[in-house]
Amino acid sequence: MTTANGPSPVDAGPADDVAPAGRATAERVVLRLARPYLGRLVGAGLLAAATEFAGLALMATATWLLMSAAGQPPLDRLTVAIVAVRALAISRGVLRYSERLAGHDAVLRMITDIRARVFATLAARRSAVHRSGDVLSRLVSDVEAVQDLLLRVLVPGSAAALVGVLAVGVAVLISPPAAGALAVGLLVAGVALPALATKVTRRSAAEVAPLRGALATDAIDLTHGAADLAAFGATDVALRSAEQRARRLAQLERRLAATGFAVDAAGVLTAGLTAAAVVLAALAADVPGVLVGVLAVGALAAVEVTLALVAAARQWTQLRPGLARVAALLDDDTPTPRPTDGVTDLVGPHDLRFVDVTVRYRAGAAPALDDVSLDLPAGRRIAVVGPSGAGKSTLAAVLTGTVQPVSGRVTLDGQDLSAYPEEALPRAVGGLLAEAYVFHATVRENLLLGRAGAGEDELTAATAAAGLLEWVHAQPAGWDTLVGEEGGQLSGGQRQRLALARALLAAPPVLVLDEPTEGLDPTAADAVLASALAATPADHSVLLISHRLSGLEGLDEIVVLDGGRVIQRGRHAELVAADGWYRDQWLLQAAAERGYLALAP
Ligand SMILES: Nc1ncnc2c1ncn2[C@@H]1O[C@H](COP(=O)(O)OP(=O)(O)OP(=O)(O)O)[C@@H](O)[C@H]1O
C-alpha cells in the first residue's frame, strides 16, 4: 500500500540543506533562539576572553621575569612579577573552569529548549517525508550543531577577537611600530586564514553532510531490510553501494584533513613571521631588550589565541548545513492556527465535508485527488474503493490533516480542518491509518495508546470486535503478552487486528479505517469488517478504505476513485447493477474468492 503521509503538496520541508531564500539566515535564527540566554552567553564570552588574556599576560610576564632575572637584579624588583605569574597561572585555570561552566550551562539550557521544539515541530508536522535514519541523525547531530555554533564558534571566536584587539592595545603602549606589525599578523591569523579555511572547507563540507545522512539511512536499510535484501539476493549490491558512499565520505574527510593541516601550517608560519616582524620593528624603534623579548613572546601567544578563529571558521562551515536544517524547521513564523470560536469542542458527532478537493504531491505531477467532493455527516458510513494508486490513502491523509489540498476545502462542522489545533484534531478524526505501527510493548499497552485509561470491558469489546480476543486469552501472559519490535512476534493478520482493535478503542467520532482487513483471509475479513462496523457507535461516521468489495452492502455510500477522480458513487446494490469498474471488480473478486473457498480445506 502506498503510504500517503506525504507533505503538504510541493513542500520540500526541512530537508533542504539551505534555508529558503527570503528567510532569516540560519545563524540569525539560532541567535534569536539564544536571546533568552544571551546574558549567560556574553558572560561566558567575557570569561573566555579573560582566560585567554590571562594566558597571554602569563607568557609576557614570565618572559619579562626570566629576562630580567638574567641580569641578577635585587629580588624585590622581581617580587611583583613572581606574584603576578602565580596569580595569572591560578586565575587562568579558575577562569577557564568558570567559562566552561557558564557556557555549558547556557548552551545546555538552550539545547533542551531547542530539542523540545524540534520534537514538537516534527511531531506536529505529521506530514514529514523524511526517512527515519535521516530524521534520527538530524535530531541528534543538527541540534548538536547549534550547541557547537555557540560553544566552539561564537564564544571562542569573539574571545579571540577581543584578546587580539587588547594585545595590540597593550603593544601600542610599548612600541607603536611593533603594535602595527602585530596588528598585521593578527589580521592574517584572525581574518585571512579563517576566510581561507572557510573557502577550502565549504565545498567538501557541503558534500559531507548529505553523505552522512545517506549513510545513516543505509545503516537503517541494511539492518531493518536485511531479511528482504537476503531474500532477493540483493545484500551484496546494497552493501556495495553503502561501501561506495562510505569510501567517498572517507575520501572527502581525508581531503578536508589535508587542507586543514595546510591551513594550520600557514598559521604556525604566520605566528613565527609576526614575532620576527614585531622584534625587527621594536629593535628599529630602540625598545629596551627585555621588552623586545616580551613583545616577541606576547606576539607568538597573541597569534596563537587568534588562530582559534581558524578552527571556529572551519567548524562553522561544517555546521552550516545542520544549522540551516534546524533553522528551516524552527523558523516558522506562521502562527499555529488557534481554534476559532466553537471549534474547541471535538467530542461528540461531527459533520465532515470534502468540497472539490484537489491534492498534488509534486508541482506538475498528476493530482493524487482531483476535484473530489464527499459528505460525511454524523452517523454516515462511506467506503472508498478503487484500483491501486487511485488516491484512497491520500483521501484518508487529507482527512487526518497530514496532507493539505492545493485547492478545495475540507471542513469539520463548517470550519476548515486547518482551523483546528493539530493536537485536537485526532480526538475527532482518526482510526486505523495506512501502515499502522505496532509498538514493542505488551498487547495492553498497544491498545491503551488508543484510549489511555480504558477499562477491561472496553479492551475486551474492542479486541473481540477485531477478532483478536481468543488469541489474547490463549496466550500465557494474556493482555501482558509482548508483541516484539514492530509487532514482529505476531502474524501479519494478528498485527492488523491489534491495530484495528486500537482504532476501535479510540473510537473517534469520525473513524477512518484504511484497509482494516488487509492480510486476513476472505472469511475472516468479512467477519472482522462486520464486527468492527457493529462495534462503532451509531452516531459516529465511518470512512472505510478498501480494495475488497465484500461486506459493503450495508454502507450508505460507496465512492469509486480512479486516478484521483470519482468515477462512480452509490450504494452497493446500485453499483453492482450498473456497468462499470465496481461491477467488473465485484464479479472478479467474487469468482476469485469462490475459488479460494472451494480450495480451502
Ligand atoms: N507521499 C507521497 N509522495 C508522492 N506521491 C505520493 C505519495 N503518496 C501517494 N502518492 C501518489 O499519489 C497517488 C495516490 O496514492 P494513494 O496512496 O492515495 O493510492 P491508494 O489508492 O491508496 O493506493 P493503494 O491501494 O495501492 O494503497 C499515487 O499515484 C501515488 O504514487
pLDDT in tens, 484-493: 777 778 888 8
State the distance from the centre of ligand 1 to the C-alpha of 566, rounded, in angstroms: 15
pLDDT of residue 7: 35
Band (pLDDT 50/70/90 cuts) for residue 22 is very low
Residue with CA nearest ligand 1 atom 30:
389
Residue with CA nearest ligand 1 atom 8:
4
pLDDT of residue 123: 62
Band (pLDDT 50/70/90 cuts) for residue 50 is very high
Band (pLDDT 50/70/90 cuts) for residue 58 is very high
State the distance from the centre of ligand 1 to the C-alpha of 563, rounded, in angstroms: 10
User: pLDDT at residue 161 above 80?
Assistant: yes
Band (pLDDT 50/70/90 cuts) for residue 3 is very low
pLDDT of residue 275: 93
Q: Quick one: average pLDDT of 15-41?
A: 67
Q: Estimate the crossing angle of helix 176-187 against helix 289-306, to 10 degrees.
A: 20
366: left (phi over 0), alpha (psi -120 to 50) or beta: beta
What residue has cell string 503538504?
8
State the distance from the centre of ligand 1 to the C-alpha of 12, rounded, in angstroms: 17
Question: Which residue from 2, 547, 560 has its CB within 8 A of the most atoms of ligand 1, so it is best to mutate?
Answer: 2
Is the CB of 391 within 6 Å of ligand 1? yes
Band (pLDDT 50/70/90 cuts) for residue 386 is very high
Band (pLDDT 50/70/90 cuts) for residue 129 is very low
Exposure string of 306-343, with b = 16+ CB inside 10 Å and e = fewer, is: bbbbbbbbbbbbbbbbbbbbbbbbbbeeeeeeeeeeeb
Angstrom distance (rounded) from CA 25 to CA 261 = 30
Question: Reduced to 3 states, what is the DSSP secondary structure of residue 390?
Answer: coil
Q: Quick one: average pLDDT of 160-186?
A: 92
Neighbours of 441 (CB within 10 A): 16
Percent of the chain with pLDDT over 70: 88
Residue with CA nearest ligand 1 atom 9:
4
What does each C-alpha distance from 159 to 76, 104, 145, 265, 360 come to in angstroms? 35, 16, 20, 22, 51
User: pLDDT at residue 1 above 60?
Assistant: no
- Contact of 53 with 95, CB cutoff 8 Å: no
User: pLDDT at residue 341 above 80?
Assistant: no
Q: Quick one: average pLDDT of 470-477?
A: 91
Is the CB of 361 within 6 Å of ligand 1? yes
Summary mean pLDDT of the chain: 82
pLDDT of residue 598: 61
Is the CB of 316 within 6 Å of ligand 1? no
Angstrom distance (rounded) from CA 306 to CA 462 = 68
pLDDT of residue 145: 80
User: pLDDT at residue 580 above 70?
Assistant: yes
Q: Quick one: average pLDDT of 168-182?
A: 92
Exposure string of 578-589, with b = 16+ CB inside 10 Å and e = fewer, is: eeebbeebbeee
User: pLDDT at residue 11 above 50?
Assistant: no
Angstrom distance (rounded) from CA 241 to CA 215 = 10
pLDDT of residue 530: 92
**Nearest ligand 1 atom to alpha carbon 396:** 18
Amino acid sitting at position 331: D
pLDDT of residue 10: 31
Band (pLDDT 50/70/90 cuts) for residue 337 is very low
Greater pLDDT, 600 or 310: 310
Band (pLDDT 50/70/90 cuts) for residue 125 is low
Question: Reduced to 3 states, what is the DSSP secondary structure of residue 406?
Answer: coil
10 Å CB burial of residue 599 (0-12, 13-18, 19+) is: exposed
Angstrom distance (rounded) from CA 487 to CA 495 = 6
18, three cell numbers: 539551505
Angstrom distance (rounded) from CA 52 to CA 164 = 10
Q: Quick one: average pLDDT of 569-587?
A: 91
pLDDT tens readout for residues 290-315 = 889 889 999 999 999 898 888 888 88
Longest dimension (CA), the chain: 118
CA atoms within 13 A on the CB side of 324: 18
What does each C-alpha distance from 555 to 398, 500, 529, 559, 588 come to in angstroms? 22, 19, 12, 11, 21
Is the CB of 369 within 6 Å of ligand 1? no
**Nearest ligand 1 atom to alpha carbon 395:** 18
Angstrom distance (rounded) from CA 568 to CA 573 = 13
Show the beta-strand stretches assigned E in 217-274.
none
What residue has cell string 579558575?
94
Q: How many residues in the chain?
A: 601
DSSP string for 544-575: EE-S--TT-TT-SEEEEEETTEEEEEE-HHHH
| Predicted complex ipTM | 0.95
pLDDT of residue 426: 76
pLDDT of residue 520: 84
487: left (phi over 0), alpha (psi -120 to 50) or beta: left
User: pLDDT at residue 551 above 90?
Assistant: no
pLDDT of residue 558: 94
Backbone phi and psi for residue 437, each to the nearest 5 degrees, phi listed first: -95, 130
**Nearest ligand 1 atom to alpha carbon 403:** 1
Band (pLDDT 50/70/90 cuts) for residue 124 is low
Percent of the chain with pLDDT over 90: 30
Residue with CA nearest ligand 1 atom 10:
4
10 Å CB burial of residue 567 (0-12, 13-18, 19+) is: middle
10 Å CB burial of residue 484 (0-12, 13-18, 19+) is: middle
Band (pLDDT 50/70/90 cuts) for residue 135 is low
User: pLDDT at residue 175 above 70?
Assistant: yes
User: pLDDT at residue 133 above 70?
Assistant: no
pLDDT of residue 332: 55
429 forms beta bridges with: 510
Residue with CA nearest ligand 1 atom 11:
368
Residue with CA nearest ligand 1 atom 27:
1
Positive or negative: CA dihedral 211, 212, 213, 218: positive
pLDDT tens readout for residues 506-541 = 888 999 999 888 888 888 888 999 999 999 988 899
Task: State which H helix or E strand residue 65 sits in.
Answer: helix 38-70
State the distance from the centre of ligand 1 to the C-alpha of 6, rounded, in angstroms: 9
pLDDT of residue 345: 55
CA 151, chain centre distance (Å)? 21
- The pTM of the full predicted model, rounded to 2 decimals, is 0.57
- Contact of 360 with 534, CB cutoff 8 Å: no
Greater pLDDT, 401 or 392: 392
Band (pLDDT 50/70/90 cuts) for residue 431 is confident
Question: Which residue from 126, 131, 360, 394 has its CB within 8 A of the most atoms of ligand 1, so it is best to mutate?
Answer: 394
571, three cell numbers: 450504494
State the distance from the centre of ligand 1 to the C-alpha of 378, rounded, in angstroms: 27
Band (pLDDT 50/70/90 cuts) for residue 194 is very high
Q: Quick one: average pLDDT of 320-346?
A: 60
pLDDT tens readout for residues 359-375 = 999 888 889 999 999 99
Greater pLDDT, 484 or 50: 50
User: pLDDT at residue 244 above 80?
Assistant: yes
CA 237, chain centre distance (Å)? 29
Q: What share of the chain is helix, strand, coil (3-state, %, to 5)?
A: 65, 10, 25
301, three cell numbers: 601567544
Is the CB of 368 within 6 Å of ligand 1? yes
Residue with CA nearest ligand 1 atom 31:
389
∠ CA 359-360-361, nearest 5°, is 120
pLDDT of residue 273: 95
Locate all alpha helices (DSSP H) within 368-489, ordered by sequence: 392-399, 425-428, 443-448, 456-465, 469-474
Angstrom distance (rounded) from CA 107 to CA 145 = 11
Residue with CA nearest ligand 1 atom 2:
6
Greater pLDDT, 319 or 94: 94
pLDDT of residue 93: 92
Sheet of 369-376: strands edge to edge?
A: 369-376, 352-359, 407-412, 415-416
User: pLDDT at residue 437 above 80?
Assistant: no
Is the CB of 1 within 6 Å of ligand 1? yes
Angstrom distance (rounded) from CA 25 to CA 31 = 10
User: pLDDT at residue 334 above 60?
Assistant: no
State the distance from the centre of ligand 1 to the C-alpha of 3, rounded, in angstroms: 6
Is the CB of 6 within 6 Å of ligand 1? yes
Q: Quick one: average pLDDT of 249-272?
A: 90
